[in-house]
A and B are shown apart, each in its own frame.
Chain A
Amino acid sequence: MQDRVYVWEAPVRVTHWINVICILALSVTGFYIGNPFLVARETSAFLMGWMRFVHFVVAYIFVVNMAVRIYWAFAGNKYAVWQEILPFTGDRMGKLFSHMSYYAFLGKKPPTELGHTPLASAGYCIMYALFALSAVTGFALYSQPHHHGFLQFAFGWVFGIMSIPATRLLHHLTMWLIFYFVILHIYLVLFQNSTSKSGILGSIFDGYRFVPSKKAGK
């Protein structure tokens, strides 16, 4: 028999799916901004205008959503806290290696984790770093029309580190790096879902995972 354990509270699930929608919208509009493949017939059209508008509005949602998740990394349950995400805490480094050797077909199957597996959380760490990078470079680019003002004050320093074209390039490349991790992320979730009965796939929808009865309980 299996017991249900409530692992992902609503804020984790909701921010996850808002995040997914944001990344999709930002990627589609960002890709158009980078390579405007559609040509408008009329000059009265506002194709690039809308793409940029949507990109910027979603960018704000994306950043606020990320802030909510970061707040929850301090306020949430034991599976959502930041110690679960940073790979250096506790014995997570050791677990990380046993998971890596399992995925490389070298080691034995490690015990299923209820929260993030150490390998997954290492990936999330990199993903969050990439999100932060795209937000910083993105807001720096966004501050450009305003040579002075709040945004310039908050993000203008980026152009002291790298030129404006280099910032655009980095912002652009970040999108592809995020794709890389998203592909691996979805695959690993599906892989784990099919190799264990802990119900990982369902967990991001309803929050519950399953454990054999004896392991359950506080």
Chain B
Amino acid sequence: MRDLPEDYSDNSEQPFDRLVARGVTRRDFMKFCSAMAAVLALPHTFAGKIAEAIEAARRPSLVWLEFQDCCGNSEALLRASKPTIGRIVLDILSVDYHETIMAAAGKQAEKSLYDVVDKQKGKYIAVVEGSIPMKDNGVYCCVGGKSALDIARKVCGNAMATIAVGTCATAGGIPAAKPNPTGAVGVKTAVPGITLINLPGCPMNVENLTATVVHFLTFGALPATDGEGRPLFAYGERIHDHCERRAHFDAGQFVRQWGDEGHRQGWCLYEMGCKGPETYGNCPVVKYNMGTSWPVQAGHGCVGCYQANFWDNMTPFYRRLPKVPGFGVETTADKIGIGVAAVAAAGVAAHRIARAIKGKGEEETEE
């Protein structure tokens, strides 16, 4: 956990007052705080502490940068179905710049970004969505005449903390898939050395973003992370180990074809190429869209979107194993294996025949 400056905002407005003004009841608010304690894997008694912290919080400024992305993470944030929760996040924070949802446009919008950077140096949170192209001086993604790389260096470099949301911002994501024409990378590579939290996913789960912010407000520090900068509360366990279909995996009940009997029974999607065994994330526990569902619950295997380079590493999505480099897509590892074993068998057979033709002449010469 990294400690952050105490006085991160000079804005004295209280978030809870604003929530009340928007019609959020105390009950809703406490429910939210308990849910956050659960996501953070804290005992439920922490809900009170979280509530206090949020009530007392001065609203830190937040700027949201979008680079080579599909806006999916913004969508995930805005599509949070119960308005209260999504609003709570936006209301705890003072979102001063977000191209997609802000009213201002053009020069005026850019000005509000640099106002934050200049006036609140080291006190604001930067969220980055989308990858940053490095090739050809970063010309492939420019906003207001500045390259994504320059913007990221300036904005993230001066932030108190940066949160990279989505697999593109954390590791390059789909723009970085082979052959990566723009030289796309994640924030970690583009702006090394900053205080950074990675929340990969395609898109990331808003609950994890919210929980990261809540953790920060409650403890004044960012959550503990793994080697890739991903918070352990969200990325510490494997999907396969918390999946609701796991009992079918252990039993040996597998879907063989889309729509077959097993599929209708909700059996395990392992043979349909589910990447749950290769992916770390809390999807089965927290689920998406306010706990509505997640891919495996909806009957589709996991595609491993929480893992870096999933577009290259986890494909083919509907096969369990990747294709063998240098062989066609249709060639499975087993076909090659059978080929290898057959070559050995054929070699053995050929040797026997050759020996029969040559005769057994030499055998008795030894004595």
Contacts and interface: CB of A to CB of B under 8 A. Distances in A.
Interface SS of chain B = helix
A156 B66 CA distance: 33
A166 interface: yes
Interface stretch (A12-20, A45-53, A66-74): A45-53
B367 A212 contact: yes
A147 B233 CA distance: 12
Interface in A155-169: 163-166, 168-169
A167 to B, nearest CB: 9
B366 A197 contact: yes
Interface in A168-197: 168-169, 172-173, 175-177, 179-181, 183-184, 187, 191, 194-197
Interface residues of B, number: 54
Interface string B266-286: 000011000101101000000
B334 interface: yes
Contact of B362 (A51, A109, A173, A187): A109
A168 B321 contact: yes
B252 A45 contact: yes
Given A36-B271, A166-B313, A173-B337, A103 B251 contact: no
A179 B236 contact: no
A48 B276 CA distance: 16
A80 B224 CA distance: 51
Nearest to A45: B251
Nearest to A167: B278
A28 B45 CA distance: 49
A64 to B, nearest CB: 26
Contacts of B367: 197, 212
Nearest to B249: A48
Contacts of A169: 321-322, 324, 333
Interface string B4-22: 0000000000000000000
B341 to A, nearest CB: 5
A42 interface: yes
**What is the size category of the interface that chain A forms with chain B?**
35 or more
Interface SS of chain A = helix
B248 A43 contact: yes
Interface stretch (B33-41, B141-149, B158-166, B344-352): B344-352
A176 B336 contact: yes
A164 B224 CA distance: 23
Contacts of A39: 252-254, 262
A48 B253 CA distance: 9
Interface in B306-356: 307, 309, 313-314, 320-322, 324, 333-334, 336-338, 340-341, 343-345, 347-348, 351, 354-355
Contacts of A112: 366
A196 B366 contact: yes
B287 interface: no
Query: Which of B238, B270, B280, B333 has the most C-beta atoms of chain A within 10 angstroms of its own C-beta?
Result: B333
Contact of B253 (A40, A191, A196): A40
30 contacts: A36-B254, A36-B271, A39-B262, A40-B251, A40-B252, A44-B251, A49-B250, A51-B252, A103-B351, A112-B366, A144-B277, A145-B240, A147-B232, A147-B235, A147-B236, A147-B237, A147-B238, A148-B226, A163-B278, A163-B313, A164-B313, A165-B322, A169-B322, A173-B324, A176-B337, A179-B340, A180-B344, A183-B345, A191-B351, A196-B363
Given A165-B314, A175-B337, A184-B348, 17 more contacts: A34-B334, A36-B271, A45-B253, A48-B249, A48-B251, A48-B252, A49-B250, A51-B252, A109-B362, A112-B366, A144-B278, A147-B226, A163-B309, A166-B322, A176-B337, A183-B345, A195-B363
